[in-house]
Amino acid sequence: MSIIQSIRDKGAKVSVALIALALIGFILTDYFSGKTRAQGGSASDAIGSVNGYNINYTEFEAKVKQMQDYMRQQGSPESAALTQQAQESTWYQEINDLLLKSELNKLDMTIGNTELYDILYGPEAPQDLQRQFIDSATGKFDPVAAKRQIDAMLKNKKTPAAQKESFNRFVEQLNQQRLQQKYIALLANSANQPRWYAEKMNADNAPIAKISFTRALYTDSVFLGTDSTLKVTDDEIAAYLKKHSDQYQMPEEMRTVNYINFSAAASASDSLDAKNNLLKSRADFDSAKNVGEWLAGEGIANYYDGYINGKTIQIANKDSIFKTPVGGIYGPYLDGNTYVLAKVLGVKTMPDTVKVRHILISNNPQDANGQPLPARDSATAYNLTDSLRKAIAGGANFDSLVVNFSDDGGSKAIGGVYDNVYSGRMVAPFNDAIFLNPVGYKGIVKSEFGYHYVEILSQKGGGAGYKIAYLSREIVPSQQTDGDALNQATQFAAESRDGVAFDANYEKNLKAKGFTKNVAPDITENTAQTQVGFSREFVRKVYEGELGEVLKPVKVGQNYVVAVVVEINKKGTASLAKVRPAIEPLLKNQKKGEMMKQKIGKITTLEAAAAILKSNVQTVDSVRMSMMNLAGVGREPKVIGAAFNPANSGKVVPEVMIGSSGVFVVRVDSVGTTPVMNGSVADIRKAYYEQNKQATSGQMGPLTALRLIADIKDKRSTRY
């Protein structure tokens, strides 16, 4: 395990490289023996299905736990959000895997033995595997050594069955990744651009036009005040929705609630209690002989018994703390939601950063596969470290000794070197050894990981370093505070039997007291994160409720939340209420356009229309049919189309064009032809092919298409 890690994360991460190596090894067990893991399950044990294929809850839960373990290894803190994120990631990965497997089965696409060996030992072998087996002579991946050790590991009959199952899941992912790459490559390489299409694009782009126009945008002063007078009926919304229903589809049911927060956060009285509680311990903190042991007895486990450069320390009131004499206590002071006492234990001059190399002899070594080796007692570990020290002093090659003896996986592959190390990032004994000794120091340091032979290679900068102990008391809500908030929320919910009563009660009893009525839109059944906060319980209550029902209080974060279900949008075409905010402005703009069209009447000249629109006349040269946007016009296909209509050549277009951004009156001044050829037709086809190939190569393209046509049933809410 690498010794460079924050004190707060110390001991929390497992070496991903070692795990990956062991995982990869077991690929040979199942795939070369022809074994496959059973998939699917009965409907009674399913939490969902994809095209009729049931997703087994037990297997899914195992994958969720594996995802959680991986996320923890990457440094994600333990929390309800971690669990939810792992579940969401696993769910979508499961859908993608099942959809792809179905396609792969149709194509009879598999991974053969030769290709599998290439995955493990070829030029693109997994990075975790490559890092574990580096030839010390060449500095490159040694596939022979990798295969030898993996084969040896596979013969070990003592590996637990549960561990093998975990390994097999990882192997399955490697296999799936390669198959997915092949599937997407098949689609990408099948992209085609017909010759006729390239020729047509050239022909369409050959005409070039010059137009003059005048316009009035819907936001211009000529339309001032019309928004308040124009009305859009439900029938009009419904007609538009029917015509454009494909643009307003709900992929799953969504609900909207109005809600009010009743705060259960700590009160001023709770804050004073925390401060007084801290002050009661000040005398004992001051007189403690062994500060680390005393703090541990107070429940504070993250005491860092080492020096940290003042430039690196980022805490509240640090300037005042630095001025406190050694042995003195500063505080209490407020740091976020916590009262703190800071005791200055020492001040020393130290560099800003250090470059160091070391060899770790661990008390609990592991083999290259991450499997534990026999433990060493302290005497054995020290004697081995001292032997290495003597060998180096006698001229032995340091890099070779690192490769053969060091138990620090984080630095073994780079000669045991850590560069640009800031204070406080190493465990305390190691930290103090490299920051409080001069360049050139060589010695043995004991830490919780074992014994380190250390050499200080260089140091940069300098300044005062501090050893500081912190005693803190979090400000937490009292039972009285929490109970008062719950009682207030419960009373409001009891007096608000439906949505009408909810609103009336709020206006009468809460609004004047500073409470706010909020809205949380588009809540999906399987989420946990909403505008209210993070809570699966709250979402479950929302989906248990009926339209207009006021829900019982649920605690979310530091609030008791009372909500009323105000909208339920089923899967499929969205409701009128849901789409009105989006469609109503479009229809109002259309009405504005019709009003202006009537006002202009028969078009005589561009200048006359400009006077009515209170606008000027503008000219655009070199208009091509392929242009998406025109200067001064924007994205208006009707204007482009009018420019190349033969009936309009050399005159004013006789009809006002009602566009998406405003109304336009156009005169086509001239139309000519200048062939546009960006190379031969073959070159154009090749360019289009490359564009289409690149667009298809993205993973989300094929997967999105497969999901759109799939029958996916999500029943996770019955289990989570």
> Tell me: the pLDDT tens digits for 338-365?
999 999 999 999 999 999 999 999 988 8
Closest CA to 554 of 310, 294, 259: 259
Nearest to 259 by CA among 512, 558, 503: 503
| CATH architecture observed for domain 254-265+478-570 | Roll (3.10)
Query: Is pLDDT at 2 greater than 60 in this prediction?
Result: no
Q: Residue written as tokens 């006021």?
A: 550
Computed over its alpha carbons, how large is the radius of gyration of the chain?
Answer: 35
Domains 254-265+478-570 and 353-460 are alike in CATH topology: yes
240-252 burial, b at 16+ Cβ within 10 Å, e below that, comes to: bbeeeeeebebee
pTM: 0.70
Whether the per-residue pLDDT at 367 is higher than 80: the answer is no
How long, in residues, is the chain? 720
Q: Tabulate helix, strand, coil % of the chain (nearest 5).
A: 45, 25, 30
Joined together, the tokens standing for residue 224 give 């001032």
Q: Please write the tens of the pLDDT for every residue from 14-52.
A: 333 333 333 333 333 333 333 333 345 566 789 999 999
In this predicted structure, the answer to whether residue 373 has a pLDDT above a threshold of 60 is yes
Helices and strands, number each (H, E), in the chain = 26, 23
| Angle, vertex CA 67, rays to CA 62 and CA 73, nearest 5 | 130
DSSP assignment of 145-173: HHHHHHHHHHT-TTS-HHHHHHHHHHHHH
* Percent residues over pLDDT 70 in the chain: 90
pLDDT category at 679 given cuts 50, 70, 90 is low
Closest CA to 449 of 337, 360, 580: 360
- By the 8 A CB rule, do 452 and 445 touch? yes
Mean pLDDT of 277-284: 96
Question: 378-418, pLDDT tens digit by residue?
Answer: 999 999 999 999 999 999 999 999 988 999 988 888 999 99
Among the residue ranges 161-170, 297-306, 327-336, 622-631, the one predicted with the least confidence is 161-170
pLDDT one-digit tens code per residue, 527-567: 999 999 999 999 999 999 999 999 999 999 999 999 999 99
Q: Where would I find the beta strands (DSSP E) of 592-687?
A: 618-623, 657-658, 662-673
Give residue 719's pLDDT band: very low, low, confident or very high (50, 70, 90).
confident
What are the residue ranges spanned by the domains of the chain? 16-189+711-718, 207-249+577-673, 254-265+478-570, 268-349, 353-460
Q: What would the CATH number be for the domain defined by 353-460? A: 3.10.50.40
